[in-house]
Amino acid sequence: MECERLEKCPFFNGQLADMPAVSGLLRQTYCLGDKNQCARYRLAVAQIPVPKNLYPNDLERARKILREAKLA
């Protein structure tokens, strides 16, 4: 099931333009696969600002951001 945020995701709409192979693999895995495993998606649905340089596979960083947001 395609992620409803794909069309507006800044990560896939310009940030990886010079890396089409990487972009395609990440898009297939997270945007067209299991969006719940996407670090960017997890922050977005928690209504936490998503860092522009956060990769979809950077779950550890996303977890840290989520923990810090809950402490604030």
* Domain spans, the chain: 6-71
Q: 8 by DSSP, 3-state: which?
A: helix
C-alpha to C-alpha distance for 61 and 67, rounded to whole angstroms:
10
**What is the pTM for the complete model shown?**
0.86
- Render each residue's pLDDT in the chain as its tens digit; 72 residues: 899 998 888 887 766 767 788 888 999 999 999 999 999 999 999 999 999 899 999 999 999 999 999 876
Q: Decide: 65 and 58 in contact? Cβ < 8 Å.
A: no
Q: Decide: 3 and 41 in contact? Cβ < 8 Å.
A: yes
C-alpha to C-alpha distance for 28 and 31, rounded to whole angstroms:
6
